Amino acid sequence: MIDDELISISLLSHYYFCKRRTGFLILEDRWQDNEYTSEGTIQHEIVHSGGKEKRGRKVIERQFYVQSKSLGINGFCDYIEFFYDESNKLTEIYPIEYKHGEVRDNLEYQIQLTAQTMCLEETFNLSIKEGSIFYINSHRRFEVNIDENLRNLTLEGIKGIKDIIQNQKIPLGNYSKKCKKCSLYDECMPKLNKDISSYMQKIISDCEKL
């Protein structure tokens, strides 16, 4: 059963991509698709259509629901490999997050995978050290070591999202080259927000000197 009171794991990916976009999603339910998001949606639908599959002692689950009451998060895993021994005891879990495009080292995707991993560990009481991000266009896996740093960043992201919800305030934009690919670019106006933020900081600094 899906718990609507929990924070969606996908928001963690948005949070580490852009905190301002996360604020738009949470507080104003604002979203627009562009060529990048539309392509990703179509590719994910193809992945999820495969269903459950058994290959010897390995069982593959697609679009597998996970949640963690202790962390306050939930969501879906694109693709999970469950490994069993001869006595049918679960011995290993290997989560794989699917993304469109070419292989790249994106922190937000690794955080999303880590959050899924932490949910799986809580559910199955099994330690998970590794997972992968599979880039559909290049047909390659990017191996991810689920280390302490990623786990801590995941916890920080959950807290950051809760702060946005509690404060009911959309964070200011931080313009960078990735903004041009964001589907909310026109609504966000990141360059303008950056200029306003710089201007306000200058005023504050000037006032402190008086």
Residue 17: give its domain's CATH number.
3.90.320.10
Nearest C-alpha neighbor of 16 from the set 140, 152, 129, 107: 107
Do 151 and 180 lie in one domain? The reply is: no
Question: Under a CB-based contact definition with an 8 Å cutoff, are residues 32 and 56 in contact?
Answer: no
Residues 43 and 80 in one domain: yes
Closest residue by Cα to residue 92 from 115, 59, 141: 59
Q: Are residues 52 and 138 in the same domain?
A: yes
- Dmax of the chain from CA atoms? 76
Domains in the chain: how many in total? 2
Residue 1 domain flag: no
Same domain, 154 and 188: no
Instruction: Find the domain containing 189 and state its range.
Output: 172-210
> Do 202 and 108 sit in the same domain of this protein?
no
In-domain check, residue 85: yes
- C-alpha of 130 from chain center: 16
Structure-block tokens of residue 22: 């996360």
Q: One digit per residue, pLDDT tens: the chain, 210 residues?
A: 445 589 999 999 999 988 988 998 899 876 555 455 555 455 555 556 667 899 999 999 999 999 999 999 999 999 999 999 999 999 999 999 999 888 888 999 999 999 999 999 999 999 999 999 999 888 889 999 999 999 999 999 999 999 999 999 988 777 667 776 666 656 666 665 554 444 444 444 545 555
Task: Report the C-alpha gap between 197 and 46 in whole angstroms.
Answer: 42
